[in-house]
Structures are given as structure tokens and as C-alpha cells.
Amino acid sequence: MGESMNIGVIGAGRIGMVHAESLAHRGPGARLAAIADVDPDTARTAAERFGIPRAVSDHRAMLEDPAIAAVSICSSTDTHARLIIEAAESGKHIFCEKPIAHDLGEIDRALAAVDAAGVKLQIGFNRRFDANFQRVRQAIASGEIGEPSLLHIISRDPAPPPISYIRVSGGMFLDMIIHDFDMARFLIGAEVAEVYAVAGVRVDPAIGEAGDVDTAIITLKFENGVLGVIDNSRRAAYGYDQRVEVLGSLGSASVGNNYPNAASISDAQSVRRDLPLNFFMDRYAESYTAELRAFVDAVRNDTPVPVSGRDGRIPVVMGLAATLSHREGRPVALSEIT
């Protein structure tokens, strides 16, 4: 596959715009050839903004276009599995936002379609492409900190999403913490055997009334004996808080947050700096481009994608196990979830 690989983006919402911008301006090596949105105006506006040759309201027009080699699925979660199947059957390579689905049966049907079609599928766990987490992964993979024994992931949003979103989100374990489940696997390079989740409503009672939680601690037992813990909150007053720490036999690797500047102000009250980058669009801007570049490279060079369909499935299993653990107040082995 040559220089002229064309990609279409399906879904011109927030994350779709992020991908369109990466493809249009940040040069991951492919051409943004078409954009689809169920709302024709949204598709057209996006096309104008990024100079995209083609805007469609029905993604099938894109799938039927032989000039399009790959699609990026950025529509709502409930459409992911179906679109993966359609795209695979059209012979398109697929980049799909996380999660594939909340139902393992749906996921398995999607992955089977991908296998049958022999196309590539990469899942959008963009944090794997962040410079901070890659540096920690490197510290582990290179042996710089020896054999890992303890993992701690901190993941806190600046503020909870609207209650309307909470209601359809699949719950905190599947919606928010799924990123951290992936990060745990990515950093340690091993599978989790068992999870134990405690959680509660500490941020907003309305979240509890909607049947969800907003604060959680999940303990992980990895198959290789590493112990891990994830702590999460839907609200950190100081902004987006994304840190990890791994203790190994030779030392530890940890990452702090990213800041808008490196300035420090000292006055008669305190020595202080500005708040961390506020949310994922700023914090992970570069990783969104990097994951697309990796996908394009994998397609063009016919090499394995860095985040496979299986990598998309397992965090859902972990989210279901954590949900069950929290509901039943007991550790849950991943093998219980099928």
C-alpha cells in the first residue's frame, strides 16, 4: 500500500473532530478522504473545516468507496460493534474508539468478523501513546527498575459528566476505568487474574440516584504475582489527574501530571504553580495523533497493530468483573466473566 492511503472518519462528534484534525494537520501519513455523520450538516461543516473532499450522512457510502482503505469509528459506543462488522465485511481496515461494546457477545461477533475479513482492527486506547506512560513502560520493559511488584494508577476527572451521560455510560467501571484497566495491562505486560472493587458516591448524590458510583478503588492481582491498585474519582477540583507508579525490584518509575507551563510563583502565601492541563483533549492531544500514525503505519506496512481487538475485549471483561465485585462485595476472578 502506497503513499495515497485514504481514511474516512465515521462520526463527527468530539472525538471524531480530534481524529479529523490529526489526519488533516498533524500528518500521521494518511489522507482524510471522507467524513460521515448521521447529521448531514455536521458532516458538511466538518468537511469544510478540514478541507475533506467528501461528506456523507450514511457511512455505507464511505464503506462502498473503493478508494477508502480504512475507517476510524468515532460514533457512539452502541454502534461500534455493528460498524466494525460492516467495515470488515467491506474490506476496510478499522480504527475503533473504546470500548468496542459493553456486551461480550457483541464484541466477540465483531472480532470474528474482523478475523474472517482479514482486516486490521486497532482500538483507541490512546494513553498507550502518551510520552509519560511510554516512559514508565520503557522503565519496566528495559529492566531499568527490575521485576515489577506493585502498580498504582491514579485517574481522576476534573468534573463528572452530565447525569444524562452517566445514565447511558455503562457505569464508571466500563466507561471511565476501562482506560485504567488497559493501562494496567500495558504497563505490566501481563494479564490480571482477579479484581476487587470498592466504590461509592462521594462527588454527587445524583450520580448515585442514576445507579452509578463516582469514587472507586480497584485492587488487581496479576497472573504473574504483581499487585496493583487503581484509584478513581469523577472529580478532582484541581483538574485532570493522570499518574502511575510502578515499584520494581531495582527501583520505581512514576509519572506526574503535565502542566501548561513550567512557571513557579512564590509570594507571601505559598510557592505554587498553575493547575495541570485540564482534561483529556489537552492532556492527550499528542497521543491521539500518535495512535493514528501507528495505525496507518501498521496498515501500510502490514504489521500488527499496537492495540488489538483482544486488547479491546479484556478491559471490558475487567470492567464487568469490577462491577460484579462491587455489587457482591467480594473479589471476582476474571475467569468468572464469560
Compare residues 149 and 308 and give the one whose CB is closer to a copy of itself.
149
Q: What element of type H or E holds 65? A: none
Residues with Cβ within 8 Å of 130's Cβ and at least 6 positions away in sequence, in order, are: 284, 286, 287
Q: Output the CA angle 233-324-334, nearest 5 degrees.
A: 100
Compare residues 270 and 338 and give the one whose CB is closer to a copy of itself.
270
Compare residues 193 and 337 and give the one whose CB is closer to a copy of itself.
193
Min CB(126)–a copy of itself separation in Å: 16
Min CB(194)–a copy of itself separation in Å: 8
Strand arrangement, sheet containing 121-123 = 54-56, 31-36, 6-10, 70-73, 93-96, 121-123
Residue in 149, 169, 278, 308 binding a copy of itself, rule: CB under 8 A: 149
Residues with Cβ within 8 Å of 266's Cβ and at least 6 positions away in sequence, in order, are: 272
What is the footprint of a copy of itself within residues 207-236 (CB under 8 A)? 215-217, 219, 221, 225-229, 231, 233, 235-236
What is the footprint of a copy of itself within residues 112-131 (CB under 8 A)? 131
Return d(Cα 114, Cα 94) in angstroms, integer. 9
User: Which of the stretches 1-9, 120-128, 259-267, 291-299 binds a copy of itself when contact is defined by CB under 8 A?
Assistant: 259-267
Return d(Cα 100, Cα 88) in angstroms, integer. 14
Phi/psi of residue 293, nearest 5 degrees = -60, -40
Based on the shown chain and the rule CB under 8 A, indicate whether residue 44 belongs to the binding site for a copy of itself: no
Based on the shown chain and the rule CB under 8 A, indicate whether residue 270 belongs to the binding site for a copy of itself: yes
Min CB(87)–a copy of itself separation in Å: 28
As given in the structure block, the three cell numbers for residue 278 are 485540564
Residue in 41, 48, 78, 147 binding a copy of itself, rule: CB under 8 A: 147
User: Which of the stretches 110-118, 169-177, 191-199, 303-311 binds a copy of itself when contact is defined by CB under 8 A?
Assistant: 191-199
Return d(Cα 184, Cα 112) in angstroms, integer. 26
CB 146 within 8 A of CB 249: yes
Based on the shown chain and the rule CB under 8 A, indicate whether residue 331 belongs to the binding site for a copy of itself: yes
What is the footprint of a copy of itself within residues 233-252 (CB under 8 A)? 233, 235-238, 241, 247-252
Based on the shown chain and the rule CB under 8 A, indicate whether residue 193 belongs to the binding site for a copy of itself: no
